[in-house]
Amino acid sequence: MSHHIVEVKNLKHVYADGTIALKDLSFTIHHGESVAIIGANGAGKSTLLLHLNGYLAPTVGEVRIGGFPLTPETLPEIRRTVGMVFQDPDDQLFMPTVYEDVAFGPCNLGLPEEEVRQRVGEALEKVGAGHLAQKPPYHLSGGEKKRVAIATVLSMSPDILVMDEPTNGLDPFSRRQLIGLLKDFHHTRIFTSHDLDMVIELCERTIVLHQGEVKADGPTVAIFNNAQLLAECRLEKPLSMQGCPICGRS
């Protein structure tokens, strides 16, 4: 899988209780792209992300990663390729220590002890959490938890990084730190977020979801300048693109 292309074709998902979360989604994300998926609460963002590594199966349609369809045979490799960071780091960190949590993925890959140790070290270094290795995850601050959660997928050396609302619940400093970290990655990146200022900084392309459908797909700046579209999808222009509320200048 040299080209880490994510293809979603006519994806529809209906939950067991009958909720139609996704109606008919199609898009392609290319190697090295950084894409934001935005939309109001309940638009279907999280549901979409869960299809990208096969946790949910499409009711109708297809998802292909690197040209491969999601089948039981390709699933293990696709789960390694697509690193998924969840919204709430408390759901992602479940081992007694940070080290063991970051080692969980590589251990499941069946890597030898020595390589596991090396990967854990590198992943923690990368997110600036090397000193936390022996700490229990439940004692960390919100920002630290988030960074460790990222390390838990980096240790599997994914090609595609998928994150659900990465800056949610972080204080301004931790948020800055995280954005800086994510800027440095050269993976294909897919984020969902309500933090549109972060989207401007990190993503050149934005997909707008509204009630389970793709409402718009294009360059981030163009989308954020389309006031009517944003209003229709219950979104708002990011603060950094609005005029100054005090002096009115932009």
Partner 1 sequence: MRSIDGAVLDLKRLDLLATGDSIIHRLDARAKVITTLFFIVMVVSYKRYALAELTPFLFFPVITLALSNLPISYILKKIAAILPLALFVGLFNPLFDRETQVLLGPVAISGGWISLISIMGRSALTVGSAFILIATTGFIAVCHALNRLGMPRVFTIQLLFLYRYIFVLTEEATRTTRARELRACGKKGLGFSSFGPLIGHLLIRTWARAERIHMAMVVRGFSGEFHSRQINRFGHKEYLYVIGWSLVFIILRTEDITRIVGAAFTGIFS
Ligand X SMILES: Nc1ncnc2c1ncn2[C@@H]1O[C@H](COP(=O)(O)OP(=O)(O)O)[C@@H](O)[C@H]1O
Q: Which is nearer to Mg ion, 41 or 228 (CB)?
A: 41
**DSSP letter at 225?**
T
C-beta of residue 8 within 8 angstroms of C-beta of residue 26:
yes
Smallest distance, partner 1 to C-beta of residue 77, A? 10
Q: Is 81 in the site for ligand X (CB under 6 A)?
A: no
Q: Is 58 in the site for ligand X (CB under 6 A)?
A: no
Smallest distance, Mg ion to C-beta of residue 165, A? 6
Q: Is 19 in the site for ligand X (CB under 6 A)?
A: yes
C-alpha to C-alpha distance for 150 and 191, rounded to whole angstroms? 13
C-beta of residue 147 within 8 angstroms of C-beta of residue 165:
no
Q: Which is nearer to partner 1, 35 or 153 (CB)?
A: 153
Q: Which is nearer to ligand X, 119 or 189 (CB)?
A: 189
Record the tokens describing residue 49, joined without a space: 């992300």
Q: Which is nearer to Mg ion, 34 or 193 (CB)?
A: 193
Catalogue the long-range contacts made by 229-234 (C-beta closer than 8 Å, 24 or more residues apart).
233/38, 233/39, 233/40, 233/43, 233/208, 233/209, 234/40, 234/210
Q: Which is nearer to partner 1, 94 or 234 (CB)?
A: 94
Smallest distance, ligand X to C-beta of residue 216, A? 15
Smallest distance, ligand X to C-beta of residue 200, A? 20
C-alpha to C-alpha distance for 236 and 232, rounded to whole angstroms? 10
Question: Quick one: how far is CA 79 from the chain centroid?
Answer: 14
Q: Is 46 in the site for ligand X (CB under 6 A)?
A: yes
Rule CB under 6 A: choose which of 1, 42, 176, 194 binds ligand X: 42
Task: Scan for tokens 């979409």, then name that residue.
Answer: 48
C-beta of residue 208 within 8 angstroms of C-beta of residue 222:
no
Q: Which is nearer to partner 1, 83 or 212 (CB)?
A: 83
C-beta of residue 211 within 8 angstroms of C-beta of residue 204:
no
The DSSP bridge partners found for residue 6 are: 29, 65
Residues of this chain that bind partner 1 (CB under 8 A): 50, 53, 55, 76, 79-80, 82, 84, 86, 88, 90-92, 94, 96-97, 99-100, 103-105, 107-109, 113, 116, 134, 136, 138, 152-153, 156
Smallest distance, Mg ion to C-beta of residue 194, A? 9
Smallest distance, ligand X to C-beta of residue 36, A? 13
Q: Which residues bind Mg ion (CB under 5 A)?
A: 46
